Structure 1
Amino acid sequence: MGERLLRAALEAPGAAVRPAGAWDPSPEAAARLAAVAPGLPLLPDAAAVIEACDCLYVAAPPAAHLPLAAQALAAGRAVFLEKPLSHDLEASRRFVAEAEAAGARAAVNFPMASSPAVAQLLAWRKDGALGDPESLEVEVAFSAWPRSWQRDASGWLSRRAEGGFTREVVSHFLFLTRRLLGPLVLEEARATFPGGDLAESAIEARLSAGGVPVRLRGAVGGTERDDTNAWTLRGRAGALRLRDWSIAERSEGGGWSTAPDALPNERQRPLVLRGQLEKVAALTRGLPQDLATLREALEVQEVVEAILAA
């Protein structure tokens, strides 16, 4: 994900941010960064990156997020964190409380905050295509975990301590649910683990969001694709759906009608990341923006960790 955001910063015309330097403890990962951005200074450690930047972007395994963020905030920098906020719930609660009290400039990278497809769902809802929301269904499936493009990080992504699809993928849809419907309350959950220290292979949960009933299901297997997902909100006047990350659809004539300007995820992603970077620039300058807040990320993490503990 760090490489994707770096590419977005380099390739967007009139980019809102300029990469000042990077560090990765893995020589292989550092070599990939050098190939992506030949002119980017590769610095000797995280402290050097913090010294060089106005805003620190942290794309690392979850255990590193909060320590690096705390160092950057102490140095007066803004912080943009990959999700999840952390794998340690108590540490996250302490960090968020302290950051909020200090008025820290910090946000978490839930890209749906800049998704054109989500904006389309909101526009349809405003036009009355949904009516009062009555129920939500969220389904995710994977041919294997980690996904093919993440296998270089399987050493932690496939493990129970920090990885798993609930933290990495389901969290996006919980963020979307929280932002569009309201506070999340977990009512019942079950997680299945294949054994040893491996991450979950399936989850089921029943929640509410702003009082709306939510059913959540996820599993490894059952699809030949890297991943497939659907977020389906039903109301008195109709239904809205976000499918496969980027396809906005509405119920119409007994079926689903796709937004005329819908793009597959590989084509929409650069637009979304460009929007995120524009908001990172605003965050760094102390200007209004609607990136995922630390509090939103903490609320998502609380539900995720409760599901995994069930």
Structure 2
Amino acid sequence: MMKQKMAVIGLGHMGRQMIHRLLPQYTEKIEVVAICDSDESSLHREAAEAGIRPRLYTDYRQLLDEVTLDLVYIAVPPSLHYDVARIAFEKGIHVFCEKPLANSLTEARSLVELAEESNVLHAVHFSLPLDPAVLKLQGLLEDQAIGRIQSMDLYLEFPQWPRAWQQNPWITSRQQGGYLLEVGIHWIQMIQQVFGPITHVKSEIEFPPDSNQSESRVQAVLRLHHDIEIRLSGTDQREGEERVSLVVHGEEGTLALENWRDLYRSGKDTDLQPVSADDVVSPLPILKQIIQILNGESGLIYDFYDGYNAQVVLEALRKPGEGFTDVRPQLMGDKTEGFIVTT
């Protein structure tokens, strides 16, 4: 079997995770033939630490022009997603892109159109819906473990933004950063997959006096297609540890997914108790699914349509109108599940 030839563009936190943690698991099926970052010293350091010898570039345009590729992983800041993906599609290269899909809704829609025209694989690195705790939560909901859902609460609360391990020049910028864009997009997309389309958004958002800085406080309501409402609370001034959680209130009890992966359940008259997800088999990581698809097998990915639909809700949160905004006219299709494809 021929190895798939892959390039990694961007060596921030996610790019480093890819070359140091994910790709070493699949060395028999995929080969990193090129990496790119604007910091030349970072290129040499990361390649040496990973024990790989790819071609090194500081210009992604030059890389995409000179290197024969099957797949490119895009892990640059959001403002560059569009241009990198556009060039890759023009060259018939499969694209695996970090979230958010693009830096604006216009760019995101254009990327969906380019992806469809190119007839290659296009995937966004959304993994939360396939996490064992989320799959367990979904199974409990399907079994009516807490009865009919009445409402939900989504907490995106941080003692500071950015977090200590997340320092870079753009993570706090109003254009490309903020916790809604970096963290909230994961939960928006997961909610769309597990609970169905978000159709209406009402948001109150506060920004610091500095017009370049990202949001400080958010209070919002997301309304699902069956009128269930999700109350969103966001802040960068939380006292104590950060809280990134979804709490689902039902007629017969509550399910709480706390800090990404800790699942709890309560009944009407009982306190929250931990729920193990050890019995759940997850198809993660997404990279494995992509490799399967490129090798002619079936696989589960979230494509650029999913990325676009999540960005519709994200932009409605970040740029609110008066009262509820009906986002249904902007949504593409009626996709509520991951995309299973074969090439």
- How high is the TM-score relative to the length of structure 2? 0.80
8 Å CA contact retained: 1:105, 1:286: no
In the alignment, the residues of structure 1 paired with residue 142 and residue 23 of structure 2 have an alpha-carbon distance, to the nearest angstrom, of 35
Map of 1:6 onto structure 2:
19
- Deviation track 1:50-81 (CA, whole Å, cap 9, x = no partner) reads 43431110001001111111111221111110
CA distance in 2, matches of 1:289, 1:237: 36
2:201 to 164, 176, 187: 187
Partner of 2:264: 249
- SS in structure 1 opposite 2:256? strand
Cα distance in 1 for partners of 2:69, 2:283 equals 19
Q: Which has the higher contact order (CA 8 A, sep 6+)?
A: 1
Q: Which residue of 2 aligns with 1:308?
A: 318
Which structure would you say has the larger Rg?
Answer: 2
232, 235, 247: which one aligns with 2:247: 232
Could you list the runs of 5+ residues in structure 2 that have no partner in the other structure? Answer: 1-13, 321-343
Identity %: 26
* Partner in structure 1 of residue 37 of structure 2: 24
Pair 16,299 (structure 1): closer, same or farther in 2 beyond 3 Å: same
The CA deviation at 1:20 is 2.6
Judged with a 3 Å threshold, the aligned counterparts in structure 2 of structure 1 residues 36 and 255 are, in CA distance, closer, same or farther, namely farther
What is the SS of the residue equivalent to 1:260? coil
Out of 102, 110, 115, the position equivalent to 1:99 is: 115
In 1: Cα distance, 2:29 partner to 2:172 partner: 34
**Cα distance between partner residues in 2 of 1:223 and 1:104:** 46
TM-fit CA distance, 1:48: 5.6
Question: In the alignment, is residue 219 of structure 1 matched against residue 232 of structure 2?
Answer: no
Q: One-letter code of the match for 1:19?
A: V
State how far apart, in whole Å, the 2-side matches of 1:113 and 1:35 are.
34
Cα distance 1:198–1:241, how it changes in 2: closer, same or farther (>3 A)? same
Aligned to 2:128: 112
Q: CA deviation at 1:272?
A: 7.8
Aligned 8 A contact 1:17 1:277 in 2: no
Q: Which amino acid aligns with 1:237?
A: E
| Cross-structure match for 1:209 | 224
Contact conserved, 1:276 with 1:291, CA < 8 A, in 2?
A: yes
Q: Does 1:67 align with 2:83?
A: yes
Asked if 1:168 corresponds to 2:157, the answer is no
* Structure 1 length-normalised TM: 0.87
**Corresponding residue number in structure 2 for 1:46:** 60
Q: What whole-Å deviation, never above 9, does each CA across 1:164-221 have from its counterpart, x for those lacking one? A: 1110001111011100111112331011111221111111111112322111111001
Count of residues paired in the alignment: 299
Give the distance between the partners of 1:208 and 1:6, measured in 2 at CA.
39
Structure 1 distance, partners of 2:23, 2:112, is: 31
Report which of the two has the higher share of helix.
Answer: 1
Over aligned residues, Cα RMSD in angstroms? 2.4
Q: CA deviation at 1:123?
A: 2.0
In structure 1, the gaps of 5 or more residues are 263-270
Cα distance change, pair 104–259 in 1 and its aligned pair in 2 (3 A): same
1:33 Cα offset (Å): 2.1
- What is the alpha-carbon distance in structure 2 between the residues aligned to residue 180 and residue 217 of structure 1? 20
Label 1:10 to 1:91 Cα distance change in 2 as closer, same or farther (>3 A): closer
Task: Choose from 130, 136, 146 the match for 1:130.
Answer: 146
Moved more, 34-43 or 169-178: 34-43
Change (3 A) 1:120 1:296: same
Deviation at 1:248, TM superposition (A): 1.8
Matched residue of 1:94: which SS?
helix
User: 1:268 corresponds to which residue?
Assistant: none
Distance 1:190 1:29, change over 3 A: farther
The 1:258/1:36 distance shift into structure 2, 3 A limit, reads: farther
**Structure 1 SS opposite 2:272:** strand
- Tell me by how many angstroms 1:242 deviates: 1.3
